[in-house]
Amino acid sequence: MTDPAPTIGSVLSDTAPAPLDVLRRVFGYEAFRGPQQEVVEHVCAGGDALVLMPTGGGKSLCYQVPSIVRPGTGVVVSPLIALMQDQVDALRNLGVRAGFLNSTQNPDERRDTERAYLDGELDLLYLAPERLRVPSTLSLLGRGTIALFAIDEAHCVAQWGHDFRPDYLALSDLHERWPDVPRIALTATATEHTHTEIAQRLNLVDAKHVVASFDRPNIQYRIAPKNEPRKQLLDLLRTEHPGDAGIVYCLSRKSVEQTAEFLVAQGIPALPYHAGLDAAVRAQNQSRFLREEGVVMVATIAFGMGIDKPDVRFVAHLDLPKSVEGYYQETGRAGRDGLPSTAWLAYGLADVVQQRKMIDESEGDRAHKQRLGQHLDAMLALCETVECRRVRLLDYFGQRSEACGNCDTCLTPPESWDGTVPAQKILSTVWRLKNERNQSFGAGHLIDIVTGKRTAKIEQFAHDELTVFGVGTDLSEPEWRAVVRQLLAQGLLAVQGAYQTFALTEASGEVLRGDREVRMRRDPVKATRSRSRSARADAPALPAGAAPVFERLRAWRGATAKEQGVPAYVIFHDAVLREIATRAPSTLGELGTISGIGENKLAKYGQGVLDTLTAE
């Protein structure tokens, strides 16, 4: 364990404090948000709860406050070993007595933490789910007093979820061993199916279920037709997010490394992160991302769960996510501080082909592949919609909403057009190749046929003799690629074989016979931009003279964080510094009225803030 932090005993009385008193004096907030109070009071009273709340919605407070209020130690089960130190540092900065037990500790550190738990000197103890299968850990917990069990990232229990962890399945045994200890499971994403599975697997069917709104109104969702995606990404970063911290997701490790190298070559501080990197390199890159300003992390989906960095201004996807749940979880890492942020995705024909092929080649039975296909279909529907992205996204989670006015389809409404005839031309080409010549080809060759392009391959196979040769000169090659993409997305074309060639589906016949209309989305000529220079520009402007004060405060915070070896946001969020710069408090009492400054932070950093405000 690190040196003891000031205990909350110096902040609160020895008697059990009220939840709202803990919120105000420890965390520095005047009131709970949304359903937080309902959850906190229920768990404080000894009840079980299953909480679905979006990233940035304040899930952590739902178990942190009860852990302080109730006698004993709140045991937090989390898969995020690499982040436990930062989570504990953030709590200790608030004066909360927190510790963790995981494989990164040496024997002395582990013994110190165990002794603190047994002596009743911890408010929260973080554990990986794997440790609860170790008899010595169960014995240790049994010799202390447990205030509650918090099961964080509870979607990990879902068998076909995007982060399945088999060790989570054993957590259902906690209630049998400690029947009087309340349990709270929390996740940022869950469809009705996943919600039900979490409840069943963790034996929380009879618990209090609280589902908050999934809407993140500060995030602007945008999906752009893929056309040299790295250059598109560079344009996004240079024109809308220069100097901002962000995350770029890629499907493969190779793409991660190449994209990071590309950005660095363009003068943007970028780091790679994927499971194939040495563990020490991953840890170093993650630490730099959390602690330094303006770093871009290029990563596979192995990165990001539990990242508490509040000022991530954008999340970009260079490849199509496998599911809406995954997409929502990943984009939700932007704008945790509530300030405007961007979720940008480049999407094209090759993404659909690749994802269909991956499903066909995946392990698992037919039902599993069908489930993966359903996840992909929902993601494709989000990409191809002509309606509000946010309405479609929230509808996936069972939440009704109205057009947001802050996504690409709202800002630049796309056209919907009758693509039945172009669809018939492509499908007819596939049919003739298969039935007349027993051949199958990929998208590029199909487009060459319908547009009448006389390539060497066309002449080699005499495809210029087909009746469909040249029937599609009315559309450009990009437009034809969009047609093929949408036929795949709608299940009217299928990918087959190692060479990713195309075949008809059962539904194709309806189109060929003229029994089914095919509506399509016309890609905009130019991708939608934010209404201003980065969505961040819509944040409340600082008053005249406050901007340089804000920058001085950021510099002070950076130096203080470096000295203490913690991320800058552990000291104060940008939103707190903005309010300090705006209000310019002159006394500790005035400073203490600012939201996000609890009594421990006021005592620890207050004078440094006041000195910075008066410095020239």
- Which residues partner with 299 through β-bridges? 249, 273
CATH number at residue 292: 3.40.50.300
The answer to whether residues 404 and 436 belong to one domain is no
In a domain, 445, yes or no: yes
Distances (CA, A) of 130 to 89, 194, 315: 22, 22, 30
For residue 71, the tally of other CB atoms under 10 A from its CB is 9
| pTM for the predicted model, two decimal places | 0.85
Q: How many CB atoms lie within 10 A of CB 467?
A: 10
Residue 191 CB burial class (10 angstroms; 0-12, 13-18, ≥19): buried
The reported pLDDT for the residue numbered 10 is 41
User: How far is the C-alpha of 366 from the C-alpha of 364, rounded, in Å?
Assistant: 7
| CA–CA distance, 546 with 613 (Å, rounded to integer) | 10
- Among the three residues 190, 211, 232, which one is the final residue of a domain in this structure? 211
The DSSP output letter for 52 is E
84-93 confidence digits (pLDDT tens) = 988 999 999 9
**How far is Cα 373 from Cα 279, in angstroms, rounded to an integer?**
33
3-state SS, residue 436: helix
Per-residue pLDDT, 93: 93
| Segments of the chain with pLDDT less than 70 | 1-15, 159-164, 525-540, 616
Return d(Cα 240, Cα 314) in angstroms, integer: 10
Give the three-class secondary structure for 273. strand
What would the two tokens of residue 610 be? 């006041």
Same domain, yes or no, for 353 and 486?
no
- CB under 8 Å to 191, separation ≥6 — which residues? 325, 396, 397, 398
Residue 367 included in any domain: yes
| DSSP string of 573-611, one letter each residue | -HHHHHHHHHH---SHHHHTTSTT--HHHHHHHHHHHHH
Contact by Cβ (8 Å): 521, 386: yes
8 Å CB contact between 325 and 388: no
- What is the spatial distance between Cα 90 and Cα 155, in angstroms, rounded to a whole number? 24
Going 195 to 198 to 200 to 205, the CA torsion angle's sign is: negative
Three-state secondary-structure class, residue 514:
coil
Task: Establish if 515 belongs to a structural domain.
Answer: yes
Neighbours of 420 (CB within 10 A): 15
Residue 490 lies in a domain: yes
Same domain, 303 and 448: no
- Do 257 and 376 have their domain in common? yes
On whether residue 3 sits in a domain, the answer given is: no
Q: Are residues 598 and 482 in the same domain?
A: no
In a domain, 534, yes or no: no
Integer Cα distance of 182 and 171 in angstroms: 13
Residue 102's CB is within 10 A of a number of other CB atoms, namely 18
Q: Could you tell me if 594 and 27 are in contact, meaning their C-beta atoms sit under 8 angstroms apart?
A: no
Task: Provide the pLDDT for residue 537.
Answer: 38
Residue 531 lies in a domain: no
Joined together, the tokens standing for residue 201 give 């697997």
The number of domains in the chain is 4
Same-domain pairing of 393 and 428 = no
Residue with tokens 């309606």: 387
Which among 153, 180, 211 is the end of a domain?
A: 211
Radius of gyration of the chain (CA): 27
183 within 8 A of 207, measured Cβ to Cβ = yes
What is the tens place of the pLDDT at every residue in 198-222? Answer: 999 999 999 999 999 999 999 999 9
- If 0-12 CB within 10 Å is exposed, 13-18 middle and 19+ buried, where does residue 478 land? middle
Both tokens of 204, joined, read 């929380």
User: What's the token pair of residue 37?
Assistant: 């109070």
Residue spans of alpha helices (H) in 143-278:
174-177, 192-201, 229-240, 253-265
Note the pLDDT of residue 57. 82
CA–CA distance, 264 with 248 (Å, rounded to integer): 13
Instruction: Spell out the long-range contacts of 451-460 with Cβ–Cβ below 8 A and sequence spacing 24 or more.
Output: 451/475, 451/477, 451/480
In this structure, the answer to whether residues 322 and 402 fall within a common structural domain is yes
102 and 127 Cβ atoms separated by less than 8 Å: yes
Phi-psi region of 459 (alpha: psi -120 to 50; beta: other; left: phi over 0): alpha
CA dihedral 51, 53, 55, 60 (to 10 degrees): -40
**In contact, 566 and 83? CB cutoff 8 Å:** no
Mark whether 430 and 469 lie in a shared domain. yes
- Rounded to whole angstroms, the Cα distance separating 12 from 23 reads 11
3-state secondary structure of 432: helix
At which residue do the structure tokens 């493969």 appear? 252
Give the separation between CA 61 and CA 184, rounded to whole angstroms: 12
Is the same domain home to 428 and 546? no
591 and 581 in a single domain? The answer is yes
* Residue 342 CA from chain centroid, whole number: 12
Q: Do the beta carbons of residue 318 and residue 229 sit within 8 Å?
A: yes
Q: Is residue 535 part of a domain?
A: no
CATH code assigned at 561: 1.10.150.80
Q: Which two tokens stand for residue 518?
A: 């095919």
> Based on the domain organization, do 199 and 308 belong to the same domain?
no
- Segments forming the whole domain that contains residue 225: 219-414
CATH number, domain with residue 423: 1.10.10.10
The structure tokens 């997305």 sit at 489
Q: What is the dihedral of CA 226, 228, 233, 239, to 10 degrees?
A: -100
Residue in the structure block whose two tokens are 């009315």? 474
Please tell me whether residues 176 and 71 are part of one structural domain: yes
**Nearest CA to 263 among 244, 282, 286?**
244
Please list the residues that pair with 249 across neighbouring strands. Answer: 299, 317
**Which of 176, 211, 246 is at the close of a domain?**
211
- H or E element: which one contains 519? strand 519-522
